[in-house]
Structure 1
Amino acid sequence: MPNSGTLLQAALNGGREHPAAPHTPEELAVEAHAAVAAGAESLHLHPYDENDRQTLAAEPCAEALRAVRNACPEVPISLSTSAGIEPDPERRYELIAAWTELPDLVTANQGEKGIHDLCELLVERGIGIEAGLLSLDDAHAFVTSGVAPRCERVMVEPLDPDPDDAVALAESIERTVDDGGIQLEQVHHGDGIASWAVNRRAVARGHGIRTGLEDTTALPDGRPAKDNGELVAAAASLLD
């Protein structure tokens, strides 16, 4: 288990292909339990519908949340609100407004169209906001938007495939947030093998980190990961 006092979040699934990537509520519950046993203190997940597509619809979201909460009581759960799931901002707003079972948190990518209206809705519904910053433009927009006091944390999410480029972007995003006077908790992650370089830098800076099959299917040494639990265990060792 991590002992540094920084947050370790597991991102259980997304669009990445892997035999252990969970889609059904039952699969999510199994992977969530394994991730928490390995050291995860927060869970991020993407519900899927009956057609095996990512969805923001109320019932699949409720089923996923109930299954994971039963498996991992008292562990905070974050859902995605990505435009990659629902690109129409009005439709996305309507779907989230119709949720019957509420997550503890959601990621809200600050560079997406309609995100400010969505953040207002999330605040009204009492859902915590993880402000997703995927680019330097996102970071500047976030600083000037005034939404920071209503957020739980900042997610620094450089998606560059090259580890050096990803670390450089994480550094620039962090500096922009700091220069803007925003003192929210930060959780950093990258994409693919570059995610580990971003994680290592974040740990050295005292920030939280995220890993899981949404972010990477490879362990730090490049070997394929068996499942979310193995990825989280590797991330926990960085915190130790």
Structure 2
Amino acid sequence: MLQACLNGSRTRSDHPAVPLTPEEIADDAEKAVRAGAAELHIHVRCERGDESLEAADVARTLLAVRGRVPGVPIGISTAGSFLPGSGAKMRLLRSWQVLPDYVSINIHEADAEWMIAAALEQGIGVEAGLCGEADAERFAAMPGCGSCLRVLIGIHEPDQGRESAVVRRIRKVLQRSGCALPVLLHGSDRTMWPMYIEAMLQGLGGRIGLEDGTMLLSGIAAKDNEELIRTAKLIEGRF
């Protein structure tokens, strides 16, 4: 499964094709799906272009995207870096009237257990983000972890070709705990393509898009998300 991560926290100064408005995100989503993406991961923005979890912003974005790619699963980020506290984040999640198919929740954040419970209570799937063995141990000990949609393993720091060993250690922690959830693997910037290739080698889901990196495998800047997804599908075809 190839997931397209369309924008993240990046701005136009990072890449001129980063989609920000609901219309831009919907346009990119349609192109990414046409290029081969099976799912979408989005950071919702407010009218100023800042990240937002406000109900109105979530609704505008989801409705715009679903209008262009009906039936395609859409997930949104709940990263807490732009909110004043976990209480505010949970109140916003519970205020949503238009719901995403799933949310991504970083297990290293202090409120991860509560955010998972709040999302599941709303009938929203949960993609549990792990960056290391400690995250995997914490997640495996959480009540209801088996009710989540999948595990999202993110390897963001290059480590001289040893990144795949970290992935295997994380997966061993999960396997020892009996966690049999599907795994999606991704990297960022210098680890984006190595982790995508590792995902193909291990038979895992992969993630590509301007949130995770702006360069093609050749080292040339990508034109947009569509070109990144097309490149990912070409690589996938070699496995």
Same fold (TM over 0.5): yes
8 Å Cα contact 2:155/2:191 also seen in 1: no
Superposed, 1:118-133 pairs within 5 Å as 118-133=115-130
Of residues 95, 98, 113, the one that matches 2:95 is 98
Aligned residue number for residue 166 of structure 1: 163
Query: 1:229 corresponds to which residue?
Result: 226
The code of the aligned residue for 1:231 comes to: L
Corresponding position: 1:25 with 2:22: yes
| TM-score, with length taken from structure 2 | 0.94
Q: Which residue of 2 aligns with 1:156?
A: 153
Q: What is the 5 A alignment of 1:10-21?
A: 10-16=4-10, 17-21=14-18
What is the rounded CA distance, in whole Å, between the counterparts of 2:191 and 2:159 in structure 1?
6
| Distance (Å, rounded) in 2 between the aligned partners of 1:87 and 1:38 | 37
Query: 2:169 matched to 1:175?
Result: no
CA contact (8 A) 2:185 2:206 kept: yes
Q: For residues 128-163 of structure 1, what are the alpha-carbon distances to aligned partners after superposition, in whole Å with 9 as ceiling and x for unaligned?
A: 000111222111111111332110111011111446
What is the rounded CA distance, in whole Å, between the counterparts of 2:159 and 2:55 in structure 1? 37
Shift of 1:39: 0.4
**Correspondence list, 1:36-51, <5 A:** 36-51=33-48
Measured against aligned partners, the alpha-carbon deviations of 1:41-86 in whole angstroms (never above 9, x if no partner) come to: 0000011112211011110111000000011110000000111232
Structure 2 partner of 1:78 = 75
Which of 48, 57, 61 is the equivalent residue of 1:60? 57
Q: Which amino acid aligns with 1:138?
A: D
Amino acid at match of 1:29: A
- Over 3 Å counting, the alpha-carbon distance change for 1:104 and 1:138 in structure 2 is same
Matched residue, 1:147: 144
- Equivalents in 2 of 1:165, 1:214: separation in Å? 23
Question: Counterpart of 1:195?
Answer: 192
Whether the 8 Å CA contact 1:163–1:197 is kept in 2: the answer is: no
Tell me the CA shift for residue 200 of structure 1: 0.8
What's the RMSD between the two structures over aligned residues? 1.3
The aligned counterpart of 2:236 is 239
CA distance in 2, matches of 1:65, 1:85: 20
Structure 2 residue runs without a partner (length 5+)? none
Matched residues, percent identical?
Answer: 38
Aligned length, in residue pairs: 234
Q: Alpha-carbon deviations, 1:201-231, whole Å to 9, x = none?
A: 1111110000101000011121111111111
In the TM superposition, what whole-angstrom CA distance separates every residue of 1:2-39 from its partner, at most 9, and x where no partner exists?
Answer: xxxxx100000112221111010000011101100110
Gaps of 5+ in 1: 1-6
Q: Is the 8 A contact 1:163 1:193 kept in 2?
A: no
Code of the residue aligned with 1:114 in structure 2: it is D
Q: Name the structure 2 match of 1:89.
A: 86
| Residues in 1 aligned to 2:207 and 2:152: alpha-carbon distance in whole angstroms | 9
The one-letter code of the counterpart of 2:9 is: G
User: Is residue 198 of structure 2 the alignment partner of residue 204 of structure 1?
Assistant: no
Instruction: Please say if residues 108 and 129 of structure 1, whose CA atoms lie closer than 8 Å, have aligned partners that are also in contact.
Output: yes
Bigger Cα displacement from structure 2, 200-209 vs 142-151: 142-151
